[in-house]
């Protein structure tokens, strides 16, 4: 059952990510990102990380996506004009994507052969949910990246307001 759940929501996350890339309207792209975030929350939950699943829903699918939609609405982004792309993107993008695909395939296949028939059970057998340890790490060791991220989001909102401001 866990494998079916993982495959179902993994495919849903990939389909949402592809839909995010191919949508023309920014609101539809943002809603596709919500699908990806919710699918990731289910994947976290299925791996036994209930705290991360709840944080994924509350922080990313909730607050960050409301912020994204607010900025898109503030900028009043409409339909984009079609471009043919740059030649540099085609020259660097296709080999780069192939290299990333090969790297991920190598890592997954080597991990699969190393784990053998145990699957992920070897990693999760001694796992203990410790919210106190997670919060201590977040607010001590990772406090600076946490605060820098919030400042970057604030700067992005201010930039959107400046771009959307109408001249009098």
DSSP string, 111-152: HHHHHGGGTTHHHHTT----HHHHHHHHHTTTHHHHHHHHHH
pLDDT at site 142: 85
CB crowding 106-128: b at 16 or more within 10 Å, else e: eeeeeeeeeeeeeeeeeeeeeee
pLDDT at site 111: 64
CATH topology of domain 1-79: 1.20.120
Q: pLDDT tens digits, the chain, 168 residues: what are they? A: 678 888 888 888 998 899 888 887 777 888 888 889 989 988 888 887 888 888 888 888 788 888 777 777 777 655 556 666 566 666 777 787 787 778 767 766 776 666 555 554 444 455 555 677 777 887 888 888 888 888 888 888 788 777 777 665
SS3 call for 58: helix
> What number of other Cβ atoms are within 10 A of residue 51's Cβ?
14
Handedness of CA 13, 17, 20, 23 (dihedral sign): negative
CA dihedral 21, 27, 28, 34 (to 10 degrees): 80
Using N-to-C axis directions, what is the helix angle for 143-164 and 131-139, rounded to 10°? 70
Q: Of 4, 11, 69, 1, give the one whose Cα is nearest residue 40.
A: 11
pLDDT at site 84: 64
Q: How far apart are CA 60 and CA 50, in angstroms?
A: 15
pLDDT at site 86: 61
């Amino acid at each position: 059952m866990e494998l079916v759940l993982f495959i179902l929501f993994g495919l849903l996350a990939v389909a949402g990510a592809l839909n995010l890339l191919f949508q023309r309207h920014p609101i539809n792209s943002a809603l596709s990102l919500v699908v990806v975030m919710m699918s990731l929350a289910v994947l976290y939950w299925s791996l036994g990380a209930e705290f991360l699943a709840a944080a994924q829903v509350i922080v990313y699918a909730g607050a960050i996506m409301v912020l994204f939609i607010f900025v898109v609405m503030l900028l009043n982004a409409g339909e984009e004009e079609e471009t043919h792309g740059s030649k540099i993107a085609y020259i660097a993008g296709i080999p780069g994507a192939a290299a990333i695909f090969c790297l991920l395939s190598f890592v997954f296949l080597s991990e699969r052969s190393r784990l053998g028939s145990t699957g992920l059970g070897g990693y999760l057998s001694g796992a203990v949910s410790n919210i106190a340890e997670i919060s201590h790490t977040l607010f001590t060791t990772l406090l600076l990246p946490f605060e820098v991220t919030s400042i970057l989001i604030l700067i992005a909102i201010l930039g959107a307001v400046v771009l959307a401001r109408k001249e009098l």
